[in-house]
Amino acid sequence: MAHSLRPISDADYLWLWSLKRETMRTYIEQTWGKWDDDWQAERFRQNFRPDHVQVIVLDGQDAGLLHVVRSPEEIRLVNIQISPEFQNRGLGTTVMHGLLAEARTAGLPLRLQVLKVNPARRLYERIGFAVAAETETHYQMRWTP
């Protein structure tokens, strides 16, 4: 599945906020019992950092978000969100395989955390991630080349 990545800009802010609400609201409600729109909007605003975030583009359409932080010790997937109309088409798997290839070439582990209620954990396990630790709400996962 051919996709591209582009840097985000301030013009993407409202779309990215909407994407978070669409993709994460259910899991946040399942984990913490409610979605507080004002609190979530403020947290989103405070954490809006275009320096590490890219928009996933498929067939000329914005299809998702990829937030990756790279350091000399690891590559950390902070967030991947695929818009519902692009889910279950292999896009997330394709993007993840790109990150795995990058980590393999760099000889670095790839780490992420996922909410325990999020079914994305199955994807991560299928492509080789293992649970390295857990909290009450999250699994910390790691892939090592």
Paired residues of 66 in beta bridges: 54, 80
pLDDT of residue 118: 96
How many domains is the chain partitioned into structurally?
1
Query: What is the CATH classification number for the domain harbouring 84?
Result: 3.40.630.30
Q: What are the C-alpha distances in Å from 17 to residues 12, 119, 122, 127?
A: 9, 21, 25, 28
pLDDT of residue 52: 85
Q: Which domain holds residue 80?
A: 4-143
SS3 assignment, position 29: helix
pLDDT of residue 50: 84
The per-residue pLDDT string of the chain (145 residues; one tens digit each, 9 = 90 and over) reads 689 999 999 899 999 999 999 999 999 999 999 999 999 999 999 888 888 899 999 999 999 999 999 999 999 999 999 999 999 999 999 999 999 999 999 999 999 999 999 999 999 999 999 999 999 999 999 999 9
CA distance 77 to 113: 8
* pLDDT tens digits for range 96-106: 999 999 999 99
CA distance 44 to 38: 10
pLDDT of residue 123: 94
DSSP character string of 72-131:
SS-EEEEEEEE-GGGTTSSHHHHHHHHHHHHHHHHT--EEEEEETT-THHHHHHHTT-EE
